[in-house]
């Protein structure tokens, strides 16, 4: 998106990949292997955070894809073996990519609100606020100047 601040794609992607690995390690220690939904939620939260704080949609979606491979290989399966589990993996991938998009939308909306606030402040600065304008109009109307 033009005009929106975002971290460079490579930096955000590297940070996102590191965050995904760290989240997977913590998640594997905290949740037992049968708790796949909890493991998915933890990974989705990580991906959403990357999207929200990085502000880069490409990097967020790539981080979501990396998170799916880590989730599939280490939290669903064992020893990094990637397999396709049909609809379950499609749902997991969709959740992770949706979390990435949702995180990015959070950053985008925050940026739009900040921009709107800055535009209002700039207009007040350029055209004056109600108090300063009324004093100026009163000074011009008075006979003593």
Instruction: Return the percentage of the chain with pLDDT > 70, whole number.
Output: 85
Residue 127 backbone dihedrals phi, psi, to 5 degrees: -100, -5
pLDDT digits (tens, 9 = 90+) for 106-140: 999 988 888 777 777 777 777 776 555 555 555 55
The answer to whether residues 103 and 49 touch, using CB atoms and an 8 Å cutoff, is: yes
Mean pLDDT of all residues in 45-49: 98
Please count the helices (runs of H) and the strands (runs of E) in the chain: 5, 0
Q: Record the pTM.
A: 0.77
Place of tokens 């998106």: 1
């Amino acid at each position: 998106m033009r005009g929106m601040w975002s971290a460079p794609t490579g930096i955000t992607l590297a940070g996102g990949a590191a965050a995904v690995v760290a989240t997977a390690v913590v998640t594997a220690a905290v949740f037992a292997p049968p708790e796949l939904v909890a493991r998915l939620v933890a990974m989705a939260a990580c991906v959403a955070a990357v999207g929200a704080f990085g502000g880069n949609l490409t990097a967020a979606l790539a981080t979501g894809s990396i998170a799916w491979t880590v989730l599939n290989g280490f939290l669903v399966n064992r020893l990094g073996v990637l397999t396709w589990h049909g609809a379950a993996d499609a749902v997991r991938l969709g959740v992770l990519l949706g979390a990435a998009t949702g995180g990015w939308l959070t950053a985008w909306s925050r940026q739009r609100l900040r921009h709107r606030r800055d535009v209002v402040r700039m207009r007040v600065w350029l055209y004056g606020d109600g108090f300063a304008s009324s004093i100026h109009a009163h000074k011009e109307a008075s006979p003593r100047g």
